[in-house]
Amino acid sequence: MDLNNKTILVTGGTGSFGKKFIETALNKYKPKKLIIFSRDELKQYEMQNTPVFKKHADILRYFIGDVRDPDRLRRAFDGVEVVVHAAALKQVPAMEYNPFEAIKTNIIGAENIINASIDQGVEKVIALSTDKAANPISLYGATKLCSDKLFIRANAYAGGKKTKFACVRYGNVMGSRGSVIPIFLEQIKTGTLTITDEKMTRFWITLQQGVDFVIKCLGIMKGGEIFVPKIPSMKVIDLAKAMAPKCKYKIIGIRIGEKLHEAMILEDDARITKEFKDMFIVDNLNMHKDGKTLSEGFKYTSDNNTEWMSASQLRGLLSGSV
């Protein structure tokens, strides 16, 4: 999407994705205004004083607020044309222990985003989802599935208003908070890496790839889509060996709410999914007439992926992501 002369708001704007999205928008486009909406005043202060953002102080705005607060969202969304919703509680073990907090942020927060966007005439809203939302077994995944459904159906809820809603679903982001990679980097110092299961696989994407994909999807969205990029898989044990070939490995077992393999598209969604060169589009409202229809029984999971990441590819990507 051409972000030139646009007023854009990013929820969770001080997080890993938010900062990279804003940095990319500043480097590649000339937006009219970029609003960073988040709860943490310290992170906002640190961001304001980071050179890459400090030199663009004339168009950056920092709003303290929580997606749980509908009144604050309505005020923040005044005059906004594009919303990128990246705010979420996403640590799987923490969400299992604090389930009501996950619901308040990930589900009620989604409802608040939708209402504020429609009320304030936002043109496009794109929400970040996760592979854990497909056939979820964790509370986090279940809240994100519910969030996805809310954003898709919000296109009908908007009635005759101009606001369009869509979602982007992708896998583990290299080097982001909560990723296993920073954990492994710390464990390398001890000489032993903990592995939950030798068979475990995951989808992998870099932070920059995720940001670029979101911007692309903003440009082609018509409302009601879940955009899924084609990205490689890798076994977690192979990831550990590529990062630390001389370390020992300790198998600790799968944690509560964790899957052996992740999914992004399963058989039921595949019936309404269109395939393109670099992505799949779960076309809930049948807005995209082009694209390839998927075969009966198709599923896109981290263990049946046709694209696998090699150790050398991983090292090359890691050099620019952590």
Element (H, E) at 45: helix 41-48
- φ and ψ at 7, to 5 degrees? -95, 115
Give the model's pLDDT for residue 322: 45
- The tokens for 211 are 């940001």
Give the model's pLDDT for residue 319: 67
Ranges of the chain with pLDDT below 50: 322
- φ and ψ at 37, to 5 degrees? -110, 115
Q: Write out the catalytic residue numbers.
A: 132
Of 112, 86, 90, 114, whose CA–CA distance to 22 is shortest?
A: 86
- The tokens for 290 are 């082009």
Domain 7-171+204-229 has CATH 3.40.50.720: yes
- What angle is formed at CA 155 by the lines to CA 80 and CA 217, rounded to 5 degrees? 65
Q: Is 279 helix (H, G, I), strand (E, B) or coil?
A: strand
Q: pTM (2 decimals)? A: 0.94
Give the model's pLDDT for residue 143: 98
Q: Which amino acid is at 51?
A: P
